[in-house]
Amino acid sequence: MANEKFLTRITNSIINNSPKASGYVFAILWDLGQATSESFFSPKYSFTKPTRSLFGFDAKEFQKKNNIKQGTIRQNLRRLIAQGIVKKSGINFKLTSKGKAIIGKIAARKKLLEDKWDGQYRLVIFDIPEKKRNARNWLRSELYLLDYSQLQMSVFIGKKPLPEDVIRDIDLHKIGGHVNYLLVKNVYDKKRIR
């Protein structure tokens, strides 16, 4: 089972176009489909194919700017394998079905954030019991990823609708009865809204 905090960090870094080494590995594997560990360093392998431009950054420039070392890549590959996101097949590494699902989620989030705003605000109000703290923390992190602003401890406002997978996961976390989602036409204190 993939660690939720780890996945949130990767997702957040990619959405904000500031990926760390794990996001870099994700991008290369997404672009190439599969790669050897050397592909992360050799331009003749990893940068001849066109990118899918999901991540919005130049991998070659990223590698140069961040001085990524082979040991860091290997460590991140091991971590991604342990999380069930990447698998090794012979000398090649590729995304698992779980890894592809995560990429799909990241792509959907990026598209949603880039879509034109419809002029209506979304208000998410929740009162999730302490015994469901992990679910509450998950919801907060999802709201931050969707560029929602915190108005009060358990009140968030944003310009984008909650994706279907977030609504589904609210039910999976069994917190649906503790979460209210409102569509708001007018907000009079807009200084805290992104």
Same domain? 155 vs 97:
no
How many Å apart are CA 91 and CA 104, to the nearest integer? 25
Q: Which amino acid is at 37?
A: S
Is 193 domain-assigned? Answer: no
Domain stop point among 78, 113, 148: 113
Predicted TM-score of the model (pTM): 0.72
Domain carrying residue 100: 4-113
Phi/psi of residue 3, nearest 5 degrees: -70, 125
Q: Under a CB-based contact definition with an 8 Å cutoff, are residues 121 and 159 in contact?
A: yes
Tell me the pLDDT band of 185, cut-offs 50, 70 and 90: confident
For residue 106, which of 67, 147, 54, 152 has the smallest C-alpha distance?
54
Is 150 domain-assigned? Answer: yes
Give the sheet arrangement for strand 149-152, strand by strand. Answer: 149-152, 155-158, 121-126, 179-184
Phi/psi of residue 190, nearest 5 degrees: -95, 0
pLDDT tens-digit profile of 82-132? 989 899 988 889 999 998 888 888 888 888 888 999 999 999 999 999 999
Same domain? 94 vs 132:
no
Q: Is 190 a residue whose pLDDT tops 90?
A: no
Is 49 domain-assigned? Answer: yes
Domain stop point among 97, 113, 129: 113
How many Å apart are CA 95 and CA 103, to the nearest integer? 9
Structural domain tally of the chain? Answer: 2
Task: Work out the angle between the directed axes of helices 21-32 and 70-82 (0-180°, nearest 10).
Answer: 80
Give the domain CATH number at 173.
Answer: 3.30.70.240
Is 191 domain-assigned? Answer: no
Give the domain CATH number at 24.
Answer: 1.10.10.10
- Stronger pLDDT, 106 or 170, i.e. the higher one: 170
Centroid of chain to Cα 146: 10
Same domain? 82 vs 168:
no
